[in-house]
């Protein structure tokens, strides 16, 4: 799994091959200049060791060269860091973009299975942690690898026997780092999962805080939060502890390497095979050679965390999208609204049946009311009509078109939908009414608002239709939010309407007015009305009574009352 994740990361990174090449060139330049400085320093020391033979002029020249090299290293590192930042945040932008685009095409069944907070955590927190690890990898990995290779080359050139000792001892450091990295990856993945669960729980509780307080559930929530927090603490401590062993472990081995170089170098000096300046160069190289191993071991630790987070993000990106409908023909005119449902079966959980063998024939312009107890399949029928879910068996046809062969966008543009659950975005009142649709004048928007009886409260807002509201309506009442949602439909009325408890949060007086507007709007349009308050559907052409996924009664209001069946019981129970 880790290898697959790394391949996906490299696929994103490879888009910026020019910047990577430039970063690597600067890393090579930085490493070479850093390796040249010890040679200059060693030469200067050799010029100072002879009795009475100090050449201050040459030492000064060497010091000037060292200063120029240091300035060159500083500039190269600064520019390399700028490039690495650009690469990292371009990759992060691309990953987030792909994750959000995937979210737009995922089936609703995925969103039903996953808590909102967990999805938010993957796109925000996990990608941020991935960016931190990736940035550290670019910043230190390139330079470290080049420094190691360059240092080895210089050491073999100066004294191959001492360099061989360094090469023999170095793999111990790599083996230790690899062992610890393997152990820490699983722990970082558990840490990321626990963090996601915590984000999901906090998101759920904040979004429903009024319900929590109403039922005095604060103590229970604290208890659940503490358990998740403890799990996060435990996994974080284990992951941090295991990964933190890398640096001291590699430092210990590197110090052994440094001591070995000093010991054998001293013997070489005494034997006349190396000058004091040469030994200084070798010791400096030994230090520069081992330092990248410490940095790379730290980078590997961060990369383990980054890869664990990246894996969770790629799981979202790799989720199977809804079946593409690009190959289907576009509708060149609006549908009329003749709906035929033939032998439809559907269930959310395939182990539990819901709708079975449903048949229905609705003519253009008919008003169809759907009633029944909770869980009978009313909203499910709406979900199937809108293709939020596809049927398991049978077919739904509109004007002779099987809706599975229509583009979802074309199908849904023929429906106007007002739900009991309101949704408003951050933006102005006008933007929430048009909802991205263009070509509407202010007069048309005001006319629609007057039809829905929303105009009066919008005028009282500080800036009227240009008043900015926060996410989900901010301080607007539930009834006002619902009026705005009704205004959306009235702005451009499509051939078919779906009203799912559309007036549930509106006062009785306003509801009577809106019902009159709805009656006018529904003339000549096929309409599906889901209602619990049966007094609102008496004028429907057909009333479908659903129970356990089946239509058990069908007919007009008076006809169903005269049958004295299930509908009669439901209706009379509301007025008992």
393 token code pair: 């068996």
117 token code pair: 């907070």
Picking from 85, 71, 78, the residue whose alpha carbon sits closest to that of residue 34 is 71
Q: Given this model, what pLDDT does residue 505 score?
A: 64
Least confident of 127-136, 262-271, 519-528: 262-271
Q: Given this model, what pLDDT does residue 144 score?
A: 78
Picking from 443, 406, 423, the residue whose alpha carbon sits closest to that of residue 327 is 406
Distance between CA atoms of residues 359 and 280, nearest Å: 91
Q: Given this model, what pLDDT does residue 481 score?
A: 83
Length of the chain: 576
Collapsing DSSP states into helix, strand and coil, what is residue 429?
helix
Mention every residue, 6+ apart, whose C-beta is less than 8 A from residue 187.
235, 238, 239, 242, 243
| Residue 501, number of CB atoms within 10 A of its CB | 19
Is the distance from CB of 391 to CB of 345 less than 8 angstroms?
A: yes
Q: Is residue 576 scored above 60 in pLDDT? A: no
Q: Given this model, what pLDDT does residue 324 score?
A: 65
* Mean pLDDT within 457-482: 83
Domain 339-573 has what CATH class?
A: alpha beta
Query: Which sequence spans correspond to the domains of the chain?
Result: 88-317, 339-573
Q: Given this model, what pLDDT does residue 75 score?
A: 92
Extract the runs of DSSP E, i.e. beta strands, from 324-391.
339-346, 355-362, 367-371
Question: Residue 565: is it exposed, middle or buried by C-beta count within 10 angstroms (0-12/13-18/19+)?
Answer: middle
Q: Residue 566's pLDDT band (boundaries 50, 70, 90)?
A: confident
Helix 276-317 and helix 160-207: axis angle, to 10°?
Answer: 30
Q: Residue 68's pLDDT band (boundaries 50, 70, 90)?
A: very high
Question: What is the rounded (10 degree) CA torsion for 237, 242, 245, 247?
Answer: -90
| Residue 468, number of CB atoms within 10 A of its CB | 14
Higher local confidence (pLDDT), 174 or 5: 5
The Cβ-side half-sphere exposure at 133, using a 13 Å CA radius, reads 22
Superfamily for 88-317? ABC transporter type 1, transmembrane domain (1.20.1560.10)
Mean pLDDT over each residue of the chain, to the nearest integer: 81
* Mean pLDDT within 100-127: 82
Q: Given this model, what pLDDT does residue 504 score?
A: 66
Per-residue pLDDT of 332-382, as tens digits, reads 677 888 889 888 888 887 777 788 888 888 888 888 888 888 777 788 888
Collapsing DSSP states into helix, strand and coil, what is residue 439?
coil
Least confident of 12-16, 209-213, 326-330, 455-459: 326-330
């Amino acid at each position: 799994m880790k290898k697959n994740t790394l391949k996906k990361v490299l696929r994103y990174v490879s888009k910026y091959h020019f910047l990577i090449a430039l970063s690597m060139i600067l890393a090579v330049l930085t490493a070479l200049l850093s390796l040249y400085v010890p040679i200059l320093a060693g030469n200067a020391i050799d010029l100072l060791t002879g009795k009475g033979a100090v050449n201050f002029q040459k030492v000064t020249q060497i010091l000037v060269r060292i200063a120029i090299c240091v300035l060159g290293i500083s500039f190269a590192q600064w520019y390399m860091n700028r490039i690495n930042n650009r690469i990292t945040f371009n990759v992060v932008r691309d990953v987030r973009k792909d994750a959000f685009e995937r979210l737009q095409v995922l089936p609703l069944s995925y969103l039903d299975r996953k808590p909102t907070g967990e999805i938010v955590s993957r796109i925000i927190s996990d990608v941020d942690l991935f960016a931190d690890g990736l940035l550290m990898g670019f910043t230190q990995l390139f330079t470290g690898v080049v420094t190691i290779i360059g240092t080895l080359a210089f050491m073999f050139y100066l004294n191959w026997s001492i360099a061989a000792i360094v090469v023999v001892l170095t793999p111990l450091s790599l083996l230790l780092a690899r062992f610890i990295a393997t152990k820490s990856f699983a722990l970082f993945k558990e840490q990321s999962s626990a963090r996601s669960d915590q984000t999901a729980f906090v998101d759920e509780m904040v979004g429903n805080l009024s319900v929590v307080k109403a039922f005095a559930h604060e103590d229970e929530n604290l208890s659940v939060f503490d358990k998740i927090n403890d799990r996060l603490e435990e996994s974080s401590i284990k992951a941090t502890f295991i990964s933190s062993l890398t640096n001291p472990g590699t430092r210990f081995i590197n110090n052994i390497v440094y001591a070995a170089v000093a010991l054998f170098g001293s013997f070489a000096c005494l034997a006349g095979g190396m000058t004091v300046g040469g030994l200084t160069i070798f010791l400096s190289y030994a230090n520069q050679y081992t330092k990248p191993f410490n940095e790379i071991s730290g980078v590997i630790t961060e990369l383990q965390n980054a890869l664990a987070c990246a894996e969770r993000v790629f799981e979202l990106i790799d989720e199977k999208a809804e079946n593409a409908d690009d190959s289907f023909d576009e509708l060149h005119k609006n549908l009329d609204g003749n709906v035929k449902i033939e032998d439809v079966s559907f269930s959310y959980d395939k182990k539990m049946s819901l709708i079975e063998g449903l048949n229905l024939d609705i003519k253009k312009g008919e008003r169809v009311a759907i009633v029944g107890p909770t869980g009978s399949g009313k909203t499910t029928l709406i979900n199937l009509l809108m293709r939020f879910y596809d049927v398991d068996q049978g077919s739904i046809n509109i004007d002779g078109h099987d809706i599975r062969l229509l583009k979802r966008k074309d199908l849904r543009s023929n429906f106007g939908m007002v739900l009991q659950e309101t949704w408003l975005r951050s933006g102005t009142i006008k933007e929430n009414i048009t909802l991205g649709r263009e070509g509407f004048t202010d007069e048309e928007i005001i006319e629609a608002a007057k039809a829905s009886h929303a105009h009066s409260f919008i005028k009282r807002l500080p800036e009227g239709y240009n008043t900015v509201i926060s996410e989900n309506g901010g301080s607007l009442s539930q009834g006002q939010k619902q009026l705005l949602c009704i205004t959306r439909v009235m702005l451009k009325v499509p051939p078919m309407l779906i009203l799912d408890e559309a007036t549930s949060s509106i006062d009785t007086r306003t509801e009577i007015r809106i019902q009159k507007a709805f009656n006018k709007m529904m003339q000549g349009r096929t309409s599906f009305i889901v209602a619990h308050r049966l007094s609102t559907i008496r004028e429907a052409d057909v009333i479908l009574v659903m129970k356990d996924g089946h239509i058990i009664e069908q007919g007009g209001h008076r006809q169903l009352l005269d049958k004295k069946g299930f509908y009669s019981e439901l209706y009379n129970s509301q007025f008992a």
